[in-house]
Structure formats: C-alpha cells, structure tokens
Amino acid sequence: MSIEEDSVQFTSIGGVTLHYAFQDAGVGKPVLVFINSLGTDFRIWDAVAPQFAHTHSILLYDKRGHGLSDLGQTPYSIDDHVDDLSGLLDHVGAQEIIVCGLSVGGLIAQKLAARRPQRVKALVLCDTAHKIGSAEMWNGRIGAIEVGGLEPLAHGILERWFTPAFRETRRDELAGCRNMLIRQSAAGYAATCAGIRDADQTELVKSLDVPTLCVVGDQDGSTSPELVKSMADLIPGARFEIIADAGHIPCIEQPDVLVAVIGDFLNATPKGA
C-alpha cells in the first residue's frame, strides 16, 4: 500500500474509535472512499486503492467491530455504520465524495448517498445488493458464532469469497485471508450480521440520483450476479458489470480488472455529477 505510515490514524466518532488511513491528494481532488466487507479490514483494498491516488484523495477505514476499530455497542444497524462514516468524512474534511462499498459496505454506501446526496457524487456498489440474505440465514449464522466463534465457519465463508481456482492455486493468499477473517472480532462480526439482516433498502435504491456502477464477480457465492443485477435494475441509470473468474471479493482475486472497470466508470462520469 502506498499510503504513508503517518497517514494511518485513529479518531473517535460518537464515542467509537475508528482506525483509518487518509491520503490527501490536494485541494480540488475528490475523495474516493473504500468500505470493506463483513469479516475483513481495509487491507483488502491494498491492490486497488493506490491505483487511484494520483487523481483522488483516498480514505480507507475499518468499520466498527472490525480491524483495529472499536467494538462499540452491539448489535449494529446499517445506520450505526453510516453515522461512523459520516463523522469520519467530516473529520477529514471530505466534501466531494465517491464511495466504493463491498458487500455490507455497499449497504452503507447506499444509505450514505441517500442521507448526504450533496456530497456523494458517484457510487461503486461491489458485490452487494439492496437486501442480502434472509433473517433465518443471518440468525443461524449469529447463533453459530455465539456458540463456536468464527473459526468453524471459515471454510464455508472462504468458499463464497473466492473461486475454486483461487483456492487451489493461490493457497498462500487464501491462508492469509483466512487469518484475517478468524482474527476479526466475533462480536463485531455477529453485530454486523444483525445490521445486514435488518436492512431492506429496496425503496431507498430506487430513489438514488447519482451515477452508479454495480459490479459483481461471476462466481460470487454471497451476492450472485442475478441479485446484483436486480439491484442495478432498481437504480435509475445504473451501470452493471460482471468480473470474470472472481468470487465475492474481486479486489483481492481480480484487482486489476476491478481497477479497470472502476476507472472506466469514473472517466465516463461527468465532473460534479
């Protein structure tokens, strides 16, 4: 990651300490915000975020209950996560924002755009949807975590995150991603599951009035291409792209392709849109 060490910081937002990294590209540069997925920290963007640092300021952060950020009061709602990010944006002085959210990060991005439409100039909704999973599914996962923690669930989660080819040929990276997952806070993971369970943003996405890219891995085991396409169809004017040979986390599995897709979208987005 090209972000310098002294830009990795901590701040308290509403009593919750958030770990973040901010690289300021200078006055007039829009801020490109990356929001990580459930069970990960902001290192998942290491091969993607630096590719935009010459044209954008870059903001990365760990959601509450993830990485080095505080756990806070549990369980969470998506609004809790939006409050955190909104406060962090104010803290770094971000005015013109492009938000790229993966999975639950996409739910956060959607609601932030609805809440702060004057600031959010474009959205990249990556491997996410307006509603993800069922209450029964999320309650089952929360219950399993409460009994045994994250480690017993890791195998199944990694199967949804990555394609069989990745799991077979990139075993060192797979092991590292497994370590990242099982070292997350089990309480923070379960609390975020509750937020996803309770989020149905179907009506919200219909009202989004901002250039939007919806992108998904062709072998995503968590938010299928069909589900992501259904979200794109609800968002006026949204662009939909499928990344070949990728699962739920293309920023790790196919970062160069994701960079190209995002870059094409941003280049085609009118300035100040």
Token pair listed for 189: 């993971």
Q: How many angstroms separate the CA atoms of 100 and 36, rounded?
A: 9
* Res 5: pLDDT: 47
Q: How much of the chain, in percent, has pLDDT values that exceed 70?
A: 96
For residue 27, what pLDDT band results from cuts at 50, 70 and 90? Answer: confident
Q: How many angstroms separate the CA atoms of 177 and 158, rounded?
A: 8
For residue 22, what pLDDT band results from cuts at 50, 70 and 90? Answer: very high
Instruction: Report the Cα 61 to chain-centroid distance in Å.
Output: 10
Q: How many angstroms separate the CA atoms of 260 and 204, rounded?
A: 28
Q: Mind listing the pLDDT tens digit for each residue in 46-67?
A: 999 999 999 999 999 999 999 9
Q: What b-and-e string marks burial along 37-71, b requiring 16 or more CB atoms within 10 Å of the CB?
A: bbbbbbbbbebbbebbbeebbbbbbbbbbbbebbe
**By the 8 A CB rule, do 97 and 217 touch?**
no
Q: Mind listing the pLDDT tens digit for each residue in 135-160?
A: 999 999 999 999 999 999 999 999 99
For residue 269, what pLDDT band results from cuts at 50, 70 and 90? Answer: confident
The contacts of residue 18 (CB under 8 Å, 6+ apart) are 10, 11, 12, 61, 62, 64, 69, 70, 84, 88
The contacts of residue 68 (CB under 8 Å, 6+ apart) are 10, 19, 41, 62
The contacts of residue 244 (CB under 8 Å, 6+ apart) are 218, 254, 257
* Res 1: pLDDT: 41
Q: How many angstroms separate the CA atoms of 229 and 213, rounded?
A: 11
For residue 191, what pLDDT band results from cuts at 50, 70 and 90? Answer: very high
Domain edges within the chain: 5-268
Q: How many angstroms separate the CA atoms of 88 and 152, rounded?
A: 34
Q: Mind listing the pLDDT tens digit for each residue in 34-43?
A: 999 999 999 9
End-to-end CA distance of the chain: 29
User: Please, which residues bridge with residue 215 across strands?
Assistant: 126, 241
* Res 28: pLDDT: 81
CB pairs under 8 A, 24+ apart, for 162-167? 162/247, 162/248, 162/249, 162/252, 162/253, 163/217, 163/219, 163/245, 163/246, 163/247, 163/253, 165/245, 166/247, 166/253
Q: Is 187 helix (H, G, I), strand (E, B) or coil?
A: helix
Instruction: Report the Cα 262 to chain-centroid distance in Å.
Output: 14
- Tell whether the model's pLDDT for residue 128 goes beyond 80: yes
Q: What is the pTM of this model?
A: 0.96
Computed from CA positions of residues 256, 179, 174, 188, in that sequence, does the dihedral angle turn out positive or negative? Answer: negative
Q: Mind listing the pLDDT tens digit for each residue in 77-90?
A: 999 999 999 999 99
Identify residue 88 by its one-letter amino acid code. Answer: L
The mean per-residue pLDDT over the stretch 186-215 comes to 98
Q: Cis ω on the peptide bond leading into residue 30 (within 30° of 0)? A: no
Please, what is the average pLDDT of the chain? 95
- CATH class of the region 5-268: alpha beta
H/E stretch holding 107 reads helix 104-115
* Res 7: pLDDT: 61
**By the 8 A CB rule, do 98 and 266 touch?**
yes
